[in-house]
């Protein structure tokens, strides 16, 4: 590769940094009020271009602020496998975003190259796919990203337009594997896998409950229109899409979307009719990389409806059961099939009831990682089939390339027609899931399939286990980075004595469990508690929050 300093300096001069702002590379890139983001996005374009040269492959750059309000925006980079930017590059991206002027930008790049992070053998040409969600600031910021990419000699910026985040990740992955990588190819692959799975349903399955489709909250974001395109292709899926971003429907992420439903436990706007709410409902987030499911249940002795939430833990459990069933059918009859390592990955936020169910009822190994999709994704990639979900609804299924190869080439010598079908079903599953990143559209299809195979209504699915009552609180402290954790954030090592205090509090309630961690997206310490009853979970969370406030220099009144 060859750097053209003049080209870079001239391009960088058009994107001066905003005064007094420090950009931190958060869990998934840079995010801020859209009015101050041009410089950071331009420079993220440079990072994506260099990454493309370094890996000799196509890279993606997405303009979105996910579930944040409409006036915010952000930028995320998709790496060559369609997953998130390799973590070794995050400090570089952050230093570049915070360089004071064009000369410093050049210097940060040269330092990075000289430190050996950049091979001399890097390619001389590269390509970055650019996508954006529906935010009004997206057009301007995508242009800034394009200029950043083009500031690096030899790298092309391909503007893919309005996409969901997972669609862009999918395109990067497909393109680097030499597969068709257009938006149409995405719909074709997902719908093909879905159709095959429905066709291969064992006899008698899927007829127990009438399949009424889903009422879907599109969060007034990009997911709504993409889902409606998917629906045009997938004939067997009935969807009633609301909050699709029309003028009369409201603003992106305002009182709608997966984050709102999961955190507030409230119905999104335009889900008001009591008679409908017993039906299957789903909610996407603003860039459609998360989904949660829900339905309404008549509250005892009241007119109101309670919201019953089926979060990432429930989706994970459903998928684990569905995939395990396929494997069991296959392995019980096709004896020569190699042993398969199936595992699931959760974070400490996973409800204890889900973890227990997965381990004890299904006998599946459960790994825990710190919060943040990148951690879960990498852990899940270690299994032949690895499933991961955060409770907030972000997750997917990963099938190792070697395992897929076995599926493609294996020809069973024993077993029934049904067990052979399991092989094909696993292959079809790999078409429906997005192996780059969690994808609301793909998860919706797989949930429909899994429910039909199980013959379950949403209420049946909900009842596989009962969540332990939980409570989350936030504590404001002087410096949240002083809180240090270990064991996938389940234990605190600093401040000293805090863990001992948490242990004592957890021991005072039935089935008590609590942990604290500094947030990666907000200036607070988060407290999570669960226990046998809601009162106990509430009191445990409060007691732990008070200890955090005392031992970690809380700001303001104790919680
Ligand atoms: C980000 C993460 C999400 C995580 C959340 C935690 C990605 C794509 N998103 O939204 O996975 O659950 O941060 O936020 O990684 P917190 O650190 O403020 O609790
Ligand atoms: Mg999102």
Pocket test for ligand 1, best of 24, 25, 26, 27 (most atoms within 8 A of CB): 27
Q: In the chain, which residues fall in CATH 3.40.120.10? A: 5-177, 212-309, 313-462
Rounded to the nearest 5°, which phi and psi values hold at 552? -115, 30
Q: Sorting pLDDT into bands at 50, 70 and 90, what band is 414? A: confident
What pLDDT sits at residue 235?
Answer: 81
Element housing 46 (H / E): helix 38-55
CATH of 313-462, one of 3.30.390.50, 3.40.50.720, 3.40.120.10, 3.40.50.170: 3.40.120.10
Rounded to the nearest 5°, which phi and psi values hold at 91? -60, -35
Q: Per-residue pLDDT for 505 more than 90?
A: yes
Q: How far apart are CA 209 and CA 373, in angstroms?
A: 34
Closest ligand 1 atom to the C-alpha of 438? Answer: 8
- Is-cis flag, bond preceding 495, omega within 30? yes
What pLDDT sits at residue 60?
Answer: 98
For residue 125, give every residue at least 6 positions away whose Cβ sits within 8 Å of its Cβ, in sequence order, or none.
53, 154, 155, 156
Share of the chain above pLDDT 90, in %: 82
Q: Per-residue pLDDT for 387 more than 90?
A: yes
What pLDDT sits at residue 413?
Answer: 74
Query: Which residues participate in catalysis according to the annotation?
Result: 66
Packing angle between helix 138-150 and helix 38-55, nearest 10 degrees?
40
Mean pLDDT for 134-155 is 97
What pLDDT sits at residue 209?
Answer: 56
For residue 511, the CA-to-ligand 1 centroid distance in Å is 26
Q: Sorting pLDDT into bands at 50, 70 and 90, what band is 119? A: low
* Helix, strand or coil, per DSSP, at residue 361: helix
Q: How far apart are CA 66 and CA 289, in angstroms?
A: 8
Protein residues with CB under 6 Å of any ligand 1 atom:
27-28, 371-373, 390, 392, 394, 519-522, 526
Reported in sequence order, the residue ranges of 47-90 that DSSP labels E, i.e. its strands, are 58-63, 72-78
For residue 11, the CA-to-ligand 1 centroid distance in Å is 32
What pLDDT sits at residue 27?
Answer: 76
List the residue whose alpha carbon is closest to atom 10 of ligand 1.
27
Backbone CA torsion sign across 228, 70, 397, 350: negative
Q: Are 471 and 538 in contact (CB under 8 A)?
A: yes
The single residue listed with the structure tokens 């969807």 is 239
141 vs 79, 137, 183, CA distance in Å?
20, 6, 21
Reported in sequence order, the residue ranges of 507-547 that DSSP labels E, i.e. its strands, are 513-518, 525-530
Q: Per-residue pLDDT for 334 more than 60?
A: yes
Q: Are 400 and 383 in contact (CB under 8 A)?
A: yes
Question: Bridge-partner residues for 33, per DSSP?
Answer: 72
Which tens digits make up the pLDDT trace of 348-371?
999 999 999 999 999 999 999 999
Mean pLDDT for 198-203 is 87
* Helix, strand or coil, per DSSP, at residue 45: helix
What pLDDT sits at residue 420?
Answer: 79
Identify how many contiguous H helices and E strands the chain contains and give both numbers.
18, 19
Closest ligand 1 atom to the C-alpha of 347? Answer: 12
List the residue whose alpha carbon is closest to atom 5 of ligand 1.
372
CA geometry: angle 180, 181, 183, nearest 5 deg: 120
Q: Per-residue pLDDT for 45 more than 80?
A: yes
The single residue listed with the structure tokens 């064991």 is 487
Q: Per-residue pLDDT for 335 more than 90?
A: no
* Helix, strand or coil, per DSSP, at residue 478: coil
Mean pLDDT for 382-388 is 98
Q: How far apart are CA 396 and CA 124, in angstroms?
A: 34
Binding site, annotated residues for Mg(2+): 66, 285, 287, 289
Mean pLDDT for 466-470 is 96
What pLDDT sits at residue 354?
Answer: 98
Q: In the chain, which residues fall in CATH 3.30.310.50? A: 470-551
Q: Are 396 and 442 in contact (CB under 8 A)?
A: yes
List the residue whose alpha carbon is closest to atom 11 of ligand 1.
372
Q: How far apart are CA 54 and CA 62, in angstroms?
A: 19
What pLDDT sits at residue 207?
Answer: 54
What pLDDT sits at residue 116?
Answer: 75
Mean pLDDT for 109-113 is 92
For residue 115, give every residue at least 6 positions away whose Cβ sits within 8 Å of its Cβ, in sequence order, or none.
none
Q: What are the structure tokens assigned to 367, written together?
A: 């790994």
Mean pLDDT for 476-490 is 96
CATH code, residues 470-551: 3.30.310.50
Q: Per-residue pLDDT for 138 more than 70?
A: yes
Q: Per-residue pLDDT for 208 more than 60?
A: no
Pocket test for ligand 1, best of 373, 437, 475 (most atoms within 8 A of CB): 373
CATH code, residues 212-309: 3.40.120.10
Q: Are 349 and 390 in contact (CB under 8 A)?
A: yes
Which tens digits make up the pLDDT trace of 451-465?
999 989 999 999 999
Q: What are the structure tokens assigned to 82, written together?
A: 């369609």
* Cβ-based burial of 88 (10 A; exposed 0-12, middle 13-18, buried ≥19): exposed
Length of the chain measured in residues: 559
Which tens digits make up the pLDDT trace of 236-264?
889 999 999 988 899 999 999 999 999 89
- CA R_g for the chain: 24
Q: Sorting pLDDT into bands at 50, 70 and 90, what band is 302? A: low
Q: Are 544 and 483 in contact (CB under 8 A)?
A: no
Which tens digits make up the pLDDT trace of 161-178?
999 999 999 999 999 999
Q: Going by CATH, does the domain composed of 5-177 fall within 3.60.21.10?
A: no
Look over the chain and give the mean of its residue pLDDT values, rounded to a whole number. Answer: 93
Q: Per-residue pLDDT for 295 more than 60?
A: yes
Measured in whole angstroms, how far is the alpha carbon of residue 442 from the centre of its chain? Answer: 12
Mean pLDDT for 143-148 is 98
* Helix, strand or coil, per DSSP, at residue 423: helix
């Amino acid at each position: 590769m060859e750097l053209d300093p003049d080209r870079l300096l001239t391009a960088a001069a058009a994107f001066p940094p905003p005064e007094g702002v420090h950009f931190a590379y958060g869990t998934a890139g840079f995010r801020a009020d859209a009015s101050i983001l041009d410089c950071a996005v331009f420079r993220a374009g440079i990072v994506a271009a260099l990454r493309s040269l370094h890996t000799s492959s196509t890279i993606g750059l997405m303009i979105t602020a996910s579930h944040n309000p409409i006036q915010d925006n952000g930028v995320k980079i998709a790496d060559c496998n369609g997953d998130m930017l390799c973590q070794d590059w995050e400090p570089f991206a952050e230093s570049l975003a915070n360089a004071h002027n064009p000369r410093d930008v050049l210097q940060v790049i040269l330092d990075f190259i000289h430190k050996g992070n950049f091979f001399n053998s890097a390619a001389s040409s590269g390509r970055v796919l650019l996508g954006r969600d529906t935010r009004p600031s997206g057009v301007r910021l995508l242009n800034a990203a394009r200029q950043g990419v083009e500031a690096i000699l030899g790298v092309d910026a391909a503007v893919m337009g309005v996409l969901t985040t997972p669609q862009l990740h999918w395109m990067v992955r497909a393109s680097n594997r030499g597969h068709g990588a257009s938006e149409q190819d995405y719909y074709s692959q997902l719908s093909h896998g879905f159709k095959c799975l429905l066709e291969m349903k064992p006899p008698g399955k899927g007829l127990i409950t009438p399949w009424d489709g889903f009422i879907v909250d599109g969060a007034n974001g990009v997911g709504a229109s993409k889902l409606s395109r998917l629906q045009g292709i997938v004939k067997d899926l009935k969807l009633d899409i609301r909050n699709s971003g029309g003028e009369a429907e409201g603003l992106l992420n305002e009182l709608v979307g997966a984050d709102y439903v999961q955190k507030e436990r409230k119905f999104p706007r335009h889900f008001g009719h009591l008679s409908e709410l017993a039906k299957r409902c789903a909610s996407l987030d603003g860039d459609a990389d998360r989904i949660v499911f829900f339905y309404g249940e008549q509250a005892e002795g009241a007119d109101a409806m309670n919201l019953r939430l089926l979060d990432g833990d429930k989706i994970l459990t459903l998928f684990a059961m569905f995939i395990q069933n396929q494997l069991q059918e296959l392995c019980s009859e096709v004896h020569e099939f190699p042993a398969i390592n199936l595992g699931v990955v959760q974070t400490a936020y996973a409800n204890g009831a889900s973890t227990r169910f997965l381990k004890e009822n299904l006998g599946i190994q459960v790994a825990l990682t710190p919060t943040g999709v990148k951690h879960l994704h990498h852990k899940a990639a270690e299994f032949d089939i690895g499933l991961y979900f955060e409770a907030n609804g972000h997750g997917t299924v990963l099938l190792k390339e070697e395992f897929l190869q076995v599926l493609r080439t294996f020809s069973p010598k024993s077993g029934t027609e049904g067990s052979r079908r399991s092989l094909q079903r696993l292959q079809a599953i790999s078409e429906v899931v997005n192996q780059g990143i969690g994808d609301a559209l793909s998860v919706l299809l797989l949930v429909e399939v899994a429910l039909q195979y199980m013959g379950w209504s949403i209420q049946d699915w909900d009842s596989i286990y009962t969540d332990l009552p939980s409570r989350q609180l936030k504590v404001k402290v002087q410096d949240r980075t002083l809180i240090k954790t270990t064991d996938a954030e389940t234990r605190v090592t600093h401040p000293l004595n805090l863990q001992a205090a948490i242990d004592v509090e957890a021991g005072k309630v039935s089935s008590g469990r609590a942990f604290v961690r500094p947030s990666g997206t907000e200036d607070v310490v988060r407290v999570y508690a669960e226990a046998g009853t809601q009162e106990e979970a509430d009191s445990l969370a409060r007691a732990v929050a008070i200890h955090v406030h005392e031992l970690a220099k809380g700001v303001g009144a104790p919680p």
